[in-house]
Amino acid sequence: MDMKGFFALFLSLLFISSGCLDSLEQDEAEFWGEDCEEVSDEICKEGPAPDFELVDQFGQPVNMSQFEGKIVLITFIFTHCPDICPAVTYQMNKLSEELGDDYNESVVFLSVTVDPDRDTPERLSQFAESNDASWQFLTSDAEAPVGQMLSVWNEYGIYVNIEEDACGGNGHFMEGYEGCHCNPGYMQDPWNVDTCIVDPDYDTNVTFAEDSLEEQILAALNFWSSGMANESQTMAGIEALISQKIAPDWKLEDMNSTEHSSSTYYGPNLTLLEFFHTGCSHCHSQIPALNEFHANYSSSVSVISIGGYSLSGNLDNVSNVENFTIDHNATWTYLYDNTHSLMGTFGLTAYPSWVLLDGDQIVGRHTGTMSYTQLESFVESRSEKVNLSEQMIMILDYLGHWEQGHISDDEMVTIIASALNYEYEEESEENKNYGVTHSAKLYIIDQEGNMRVVWRGYDWTWASVYHDVLLLL
């Protein structure tokens, strides 16, 4: 089992065990969530589920009438949420796997945004893809998106607060957290919990972007600090994050149907992977610079261009890619991905995109065209290869100090990220001075379109919700 699989298994076992504990304490014949017929309207409105007219991540219109005769699960999320929303999406994914054939046939999932200004269909599509989520993510298609969504949130009893200048511009609010949750480099004002002030002991040159590796590491550490994981489990989680630097294995064929394997290239030479599409004008214009680079660097860098992907619904076939190589008289290796998945496995979504490998470690990423000089710089300024075994031992030495409070969260994350030679990302402008707070609810709507069960907060697991869905099937 690879390290990513180990981490996924760790989380699934964690949540499964939680669900099993629930099952020992509750009546199998009753909902484990709150029955909408037995709670107040403020918690869950009994009767037909409110309808709406929204669009999904593909820009397609969605309303409740489309799901007549099916069980519908609705959650409320936003894509810039660094912790809870990915966790909720993970649980939904596990639930879809457990439902098997019933998923989509008898049960559908919907995730509705509470941040429609930023959560465009394009943004939701990226979020769904990165979280391997196959269901519909919904947002507004109105010119004033928040205005359209207000009625949806109100009818479903979802409190939403969008603060465009949250916490003095240096943090955001989180449900259940007293006052501001401050950005790295800032601390809560002891005299005003709704304000974040500069932390004098923090290196202000270092900030962690939401959804970055650092944020993910901090989430893994918090499993330990919350008592949900022991030291070995936490280390397994960190190993999984480290594995993001490890390139996946692959076997692909060239234009002559000769098979090429990653093991051939993950060797002493550097390997430059280009992911492209024949319909991409930038990919055509990139050829002269890449041709010159290959001529000068072929002894130290293996250049491989990989096609077989979609652009605006047009999927490249082998013939397209072969003609592309002939037209441009390309001298390096061109491969065809007949699974159409390797580009996504590397987390890439645009053309051209580049990955630089030293052995099997990813030491550079880039999206967009590059001149010859930029290609040279990309290779010469690459990250250093990491001795993962040595770094894990070093990280382990620091964990005890972190657990005892001698090292702050930010310091611990900085140590781990530095050990991985991970480049710090500056917080993007769209994330600054912006905060979203919302109440967390998962609704289960029965085949007749009635609100039946509500799960409040974040304590539910896929196993618990699965129990309630089975009672309605």
Backbone angles phi, psi at 81, to 5 degrees: -65, 120
Residue 445 falls inside a structural domain = yes
Residue 360 falls inside a structural domain = yes
**Do 309 and 235 sit in the same domain of this protein?**
no
User: In terms of DSSP bridges, do strands 361-367 and 314-315 run parallel, antiparallel, or are they unpaired?
Assistant: unpaired
pLDDT the model gives residue 360: 82
**Do 135 and 84 sit in the same domain of this protein?**
yes
**Do 358 and 278 sit in the same domain of this protein?**
yes
**Do 340 and 409 sit in the same domain of this protein?**
no
**Do 268 and 361 sit in the same domain of this protein?**
yes
Residue 37 falls inside a structural domain = yes
Give the total residue count for the chain: 473
pLDDT the model gives residue 213: 53
From CA 347, how far away is CA 243, in angstroms rounded? 13
Range of the domain at 401: 213-242+388-430
pLDDT the model gives residue 31: 93
**Do 413 and 463 sit in the same domain of this protein?**
no
pLDDT the model gives residue 50: 94
For residue 324, give the amino acid letter.
F
Residue 182 falls inside a structural domain = no
Asked if 84 and 458 count as a contact pair (C-beta separation under 8 A), the reply is yes
Please state the pTM of the whole predicted model: 0.46
Residue 169 falls inside a structural domain = no
Q: What residues in the chain have per-residue pLDDT under 70?
A: 1-28, 82-83, 164-166, 168-178, 181-186, 190, 199-245, 312, 386-394, 396-397, 399-400, 403, 409, 413, 417-435
List 361's β-bridge partners, or say none: 246, 358
The CA-based diameter of the chain, rounded to the nearest angstrom, is: 74
**Do 85 and 118 sit in the same domain of this protein?**
yes
**Do 46 and 90 sit in the same domain of this protein?**
yes
Residue-wise pLDDT for 333-354, tens only, equals 999 999 998 998 887 777 889 9
| Count: domains in the chain | 3
For residue 97, give the amino acid letter.
E
For the domain that residue 276 is a member of, what is the CATH number? Answer: 3.40.30.10
Mean pLDDT of the chain, nearest integer: 79
**Do 152 and 123 sit in the same domain of this protein?**
yes
**Do 376 and 269 sit in the same domain of this protein?**
yes
Radius of gyration in angstroms for the set of CA atoms belonging to the chain, rounded to a whole number: 24
Q: 455: which residues sit within 8 A by CB, 6+ positions away?
A: 33, 34, 441, 442, 443, 444, 464, 465
Residue 266 falls inside a structural domain = yes
Residue-wise pLDDT for 68-87, tens only, equals 999 999 999 988 776 577 77
Residue 90 falls inside a structural domain = yes
**Do 267 and 370 sit in the same domain of this protein?**
yes
Which among 348, 380, 412 is the end of a domain?
Answer: 380
**Do 128 and 225 sit in the same domain of this protein?**
no
pLDDT the model gives residue 15: 39
Residue 20 falls inside a structural domain = no
